[in-house]
């Protein structure tokens, strides 16, 4: 099969899979692409689609060896003369040239890996642009730049493509797909009726006189006024609740991080540090990135009391460029079995945990290796409940990630009306502690408050991650969930940084 269609929640990923031909399009592939886009258009459960080329190349365009394409109503490449009423994104790695460029231009947005190359390479062989390139390229980059690319056929690298507006973002090489999917998920989280009406007005207004375009915009907007009214009501209710519940902001007390060297555990790059709390001092394992500076992330361990797994998470986050602090809530005690772990968990009282976690955020923000004044928090299972709870109390927590559910640890529901954090949740399927229904309720509540809340459901995503029988962590155990975690934390905590070492 030369085209693969997969769904990730409300996002479809359509992949061209002919790496041996640099994803060049022959007749069978064009037909498969047309079918894939029709499937996307007719699936009410899918909101956004991402077009991708497997094997590190987006597409070299028409397969000139086979040269068997036919001029169908949908276009030579199968779909470029058709339209869909939903947003589309091209995730571009490697060469995106000739018809490949025309397919990327058909999409609404384009995310490029740093090694991407664009160009009208068909110029070299006398092949015309017949899949929308002569019409879409000038509309995107302007007449002068479009003619430059079309007439010269020269290659355009990712940096120049970004400068001229051909692509919307350039990311690290190999990350175009994950970033495009993350962007698609954010777009899919919005009310779709209004989003699609605005999109139709943009495309329908091309070529119209201003007065005609304004009338088109009015008609499209009138169709979704009920959606707008409901959104305004939610906003007003959330605003009123926040005004009532939010106390006056208080400047955080100055915190001095005191480091007591206890040696470095064999095979680990981090150190055990102590930091002051209202009740004395607490312990944390701190793992620094290679460059020794980066955004800060607090890691809260699971209720089992196993410390090794959350230290592994800290090390993996450090490898991704973060300063990761794994907080020790059990004062160094490692549970011998599940029964003792539950005993430890039940013994935790809310004031002590609150003070320890708040002090951990103080210490992390003040840590000399941490960039920025806002941090993220990652928790899994019981720790996920703590992470969600803390993110509603401390406005310096700007990003919250939960794995394997978020087991509630008190009878008090988190007050999301006070939260300023963005949330990403990974929930195991039909687990009694982590039902997807719980995730859906949280997601709706957070979105009603204007939060960037995206919960993903992965069957058994945390096995080997929070299981007391296997207290170790490996990204392979969570796969896509871990990729999304790193991408999400980077987007929220370091939106203008590539996390390069200083």
Token pair belonging to 111: 């995310």
Q: pTM of the predicted model, to two decimals?
A: 0.53
β partners of residue 420: none
The CA distance from 497 to 491, in Å, is: 9
Residue 42: count of CB within 10 angstroms of its CB = 9
The alpha carbon dihedral of 215, 220, 226, 232 has a sign of negative
* pLDDT value for 106: 96
Terminal alpha carbon distance of the chain: 45
Structural contact between residues 449 and 417, judged by C-beta atoms closer than 8 angstroms: yes
Q: CB burial class (10 A; 0-12, 13-18, 19+) of residue 37?
A: buried
Structural tokens at position 331: 């004062």
Say if residues 344 and 333 touch (Cβ distance below 8 Å).
Answer: yes
Write out the two tokens for 479.
């796969």
DSSP 353-382: HHHHHHHHHHHHHH-TTB-SS-EEEEEEEH
CB-CB neighbours of 481 under 10 Å: 21
Question: So what's the pLDDT on residue 155?
Answer: 95
Query: How far is residue 458 from each of residues 7, 110, 122, 186, 279, measured CA to CA in Å?
Result: 13, 27, 43, 18, 39
Residues in Cβ contact with 249 at an 8 Å cutoff, skipping those fewer than 6 apart = 395
Ramachandran bin of 44, using left for φ above 0, alpha for ψ from -120 to 50, beta for the remaining angles: alpha
The whole-number pLDDT of residue 253 equals 28
- Cα dihedral 370, 372, 373, 378 in deg (nearest 10): -60
Q: 3-class SS at 401?
A: strand
Query: Is residue 16 classed as helix, strand or coil in its secondary structure?
Result: strand
Beta-sheet pairing, 109-113 with 169-171: parallel
Assigned token pair, 238? 């959330």
64 vs 22, 29, 51, 316, 388, CA distance in Å? 12, 13, 22, 45, 54
CA distance 203 to 199: 6
Can you give the pLDDT of all 502 residues of the chain as single tens digits?
A: 799 999 988 899 999 999 999 999 999 999 999 999 999 999 998 999 999 999 999 999 999 888 888 888 888 999 999 999 999 999 999 999 999 999 999 999 999 999 999 999 999 999 999 999 999 999 999 999 999 999 999 999 999 999 999 999 999 899 999 999 988 988 888 888 899 999 999 999 998 999 999 999 999 988 888 877 777 776 666 556 545 443 433 333 222 222 222 222 334 467 777 777 766 677 788 888 887 888 999 988 765 444 456 777 888 888 888 999 888 776 555 445 556 656 666 666 666 677 778 888 888 888 888 988 889 888 876 677 777 777 766 778 888 887 655 555 454 455 555 455 666 666 544 444 444 455 556 666 666 666 666 665 544 434 433 333 444 444 444 556 677 778 888 888 876 443 333 3
On whether the CB atoms of residues 128 and 146 are closer than 8 A, the answer is no
- What are the structural domains, with CATH classification, of the chain? 3-190 (3.90.226.10), 193-245 (no CATH), 271-493 (3.40.50.1820)
Q: Kindly state the DSSP code that residue 470 receives in the 8-state scheme.
A: S
DSSP string computed for 230-288 = HHHHHHHHHHHHHHHHPPPP-PPPP---B-------TT---EEEEEEETTEEEEEEEE-
pLDDT at 82: 93
Contact 273, 364 (CB under 8 A): no
């Amino acid at each position: 099969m030369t085209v693969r269609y997969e769904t990730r929640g409300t996002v479809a990923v359509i992949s061209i899979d002919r790496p041996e031909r640099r994803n060049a399009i022959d007749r069978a592939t064009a037909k498969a692409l047309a079918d894939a886009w029709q499937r996307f258009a007719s699936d009410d459960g899918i909101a956004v689609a991402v077009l991708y080329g497997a094997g590190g190349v987006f597409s070299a365009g028409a397969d000139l060896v086979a040269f068997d394409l036919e001029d169908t109503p949908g276009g030579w490449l199968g779909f470029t003369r058709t339209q869909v009423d939903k947003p589309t994104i091209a995730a571009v790695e490697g060469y995106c040239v000739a018809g490949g460029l025309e397919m990327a231009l058909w999409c609404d947005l384009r995310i490029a890996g740093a090694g991407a190359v664009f160009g009208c390479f068909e110029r070299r062989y006398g092949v015309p642009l017949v899949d929308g390139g002569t019409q879409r390229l000038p509309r995107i980059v302007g007449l002068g730049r479009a003619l430059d690319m079309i007439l010269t056929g020269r290659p355009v690298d990712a940096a120049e493509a970004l400068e001229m507006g051909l692509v919307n973002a350039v990311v690290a090489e190999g990350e175009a797909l994950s970033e495009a999917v993350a962007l698609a998920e954010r777009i899919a989280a919005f009310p779709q009726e209004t989003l699609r009406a605005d999109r139709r007005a943009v495309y329908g207004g091309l070529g119209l006189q201003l007065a005609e375009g304004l009338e088109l915009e009015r008609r499209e907007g009138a169709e979704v006024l009920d959606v707008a009214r409901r959104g305004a009501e939610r906003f007003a209710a959330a605003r009123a609740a926040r005004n009532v519940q939010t106390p006056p902001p208080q400047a955080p007390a100055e915190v001095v991080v005191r480091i007591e060297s206890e040696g470095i555990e064999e095979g680990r790059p981090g150190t055990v540090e102590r930091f002051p709390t209202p009740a004395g001092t607490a312990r944390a394992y701190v793992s620094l990135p290679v460059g020794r500076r980066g955004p800060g992330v607090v890691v809260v361990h699971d209720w089992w009391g196993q410390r090794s797994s959350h230290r592994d998470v800290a090390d993996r986050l450090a490898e991704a460029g973060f300063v990761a602090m794994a907080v020790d809530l059990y004062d160094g005690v490692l549970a011998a079995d599940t029964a003792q772990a539950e005993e430890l968990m039940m013994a935790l009282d809310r004031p002590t945990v609150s003070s320890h976690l708040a002090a951990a955020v103080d210490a992390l923000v003040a840590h000399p290796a941490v960039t920025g004044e806002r941090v993220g928090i990652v928790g899994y299972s019981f720790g996920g409940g703590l992470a969600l709870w803390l993110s509603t109390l401390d406005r310096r927590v700007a990003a919250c990630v939960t794995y394997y559910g978020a087991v509630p640890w008190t009878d008090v529901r988190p007050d999301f009306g006070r939260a300023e954090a963005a949330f990403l949740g990974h929930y195991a399927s039909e687990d009694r502690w982590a039902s997807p229904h719980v995730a859906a309720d949280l997601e709706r509540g957070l979105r009603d408050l204007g939060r960037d809340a995206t919960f993903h459901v992965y069957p058994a995503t945390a096995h080997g991650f929070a299981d007391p029988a296997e207290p170790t962590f490996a990204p392979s155990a969570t796969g896509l969930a871990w990729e999304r975690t790193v991408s999400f934390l980077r987007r929220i905590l370091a939106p203008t940084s590539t996390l390069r070492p200083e």
